[in-house]
Amino acid sequence: MLRQVQHEREVANFAVEAVDLVKDFAETRAVDGVNLAVPSGSIYGLLGPNGAGKTTTLRILIGIIDPSSGVRRVLGRERPLDAAREVGYLPEERGLYPAMHARDAIAFMGALRGLPLAEGRRRADALLAEHKLGDWAKKPIRTLSKGMAQTVQLLGTIIHKPRLIVLDEPFAGLDAINQARLEELIRREARAGATIIFSTHVIAHAERLCERVAIIAKGKVAFDGGVDEARSQLRPIVRLRTRASDGAWLAAIPPGARREGDEYVFELPEGGPEPFLKALIDGGAGIETLAIERPGLHDAFVAIAGNAAAAEMGQDKPQ
């Protein structure tokens, strides 16, 4: 009995779990032994280049397709489709009926998840007004800009107040203003208690939004953990400018240091900043500027997945 209670508590802590997921399409293995655990109430990112297996993984998790092998659990259900009415899903391929009014499109998406049409229309009016689209409630979808149409589809994804929101490349094709609006909507839904999973090939979105990320490359999970944990894979970076150009202090500079203008740039030596700083002062460096920078998620991604994966995303590490 005690083991059962403990298991139930562990299940309650995760909105989505996957163990050894594999998906083969003919001779191609799109998903290769994926293990994930998405904490309830978190914003969780699947980060990787196009073709890495992100979309296939999401579709397996919510039951659109079945894995070739492996198991998954969604909101405590062994069969993901049993939780369908508590899930909101925005696919990578956007699709709205062009002639349908924005208000009715949102209500219709809610009806597909069991929300009465009249209640869906009421909620749609409130959401459209909140996002300053109230004047477009009775306008056909075909008259909306791409950003507005995507906002309408996203509102339809959350109209039934899902506990789990799954977004596949939600920022694709949006300008900076609409990206910022989408980021705020994601944060708001998380504050309200929803669990958010989104896939992206843009590292900046994951770094700004996510508490945890899974880095996926070639169908495998190369890393799954907190954003801070990913950054901690690398040592902090030191940027140093000195008045002296020679002296005993140079022994404190690691062999791999590079010069960027008047600065030395290198990883913080073992032992931390105190011994290093003492060596500079005692050696007569004459410190003008000293900055210790925490590595970003971009650097962590390159360290974990490699330059090739970053290059596939168009975000290879600057030289």
Identify which has the larger pLDDT, 74 or 314.
74
Average pLDDT over residues 291-318: 69
* Structure tokens belonging to residue 38: 């998405």
Instruction: Determine the Cα–Cα distance for residues 162 and 196; give it in Å rounded to an integer.
Output: 10
Give 217-261 pLDDT, tens digit per residue.
Answer: 888 998 898 888 887 777 888 999 999 999 999 999 988 899 999
pLDDT of residue 267: 85
Coil, strand or helix at 28 = strand
CA Rg value for the chain: 24
Average pLDDT over residues 100-124: 94
pLDDT of residue 309: 66
Q: How confident is the model at residue 160 (pLDDT cuts 50, 70, 90)?
A: very high
pLDDT of residue 313: 62
Average pLDDT over residues 59-82: 95
Paired strand residues for 220: 217
Q: How confident is the model at residue 10 (pLDDT cuts 50, 70, 90)?
A: very low
Average pLDDT over residues 172-190: 87
Is pLDDT at 301 greater than 90 in this prediction? no
Is pLDDT at 308 greater than 70 in this prediction? no
pLDDT of residue 2: 31
* Structure tokens belonging to residue 172: 């694709």
Average pLDDT over residues 43-49: 92
Q: How confident is the model at residue 43 (pLDDT cuts 50, 70, 90)?
A: very high
pLDDT of residue 318: 41
Which domains, and CATH codes, for the chain? 2-226 (3.40.50.300), 237-294 (no CATH)
Q: How confident is the model at residue 8 (pLDDT cuts 50, 70, 90)?
A: very low
Contacts for 76 with CB less than 8 Å, ≥ 6 apart: 11, 12, 83
Paired strand residues for 53: none
Q: How confident is the model at residue 164 (pLDDT cuts 50, 70, 90)?
A: very high
pLDDT of residue 82: 94
Mean pLDDT of the chain: 87
* Interstrand relation of 258-260 and 14-25 (parallel, antiparallel or unpaired): unpaired
Cα–Cα distances in Å, from 293 out to 132, 231, 234?
Answer: 40, 11, 11
Mapped to the 3 state alphabet, what secondary structure does 129-163 carry? Answer: HHCCCHHHCCCEHHHCCHHHHHHHHHHHHHCCCCC
Backbone angles phi, psi at 113, to 5 degrees: -105, 15
Instruction: Determine the Cα–Cα distance for residues 162 and 189; give it in Å rounded to an integer.
Output: 9
Is pLDDT at 4 greater than 60 in this prediction? no
Coil, strand or helix at 282 = helix
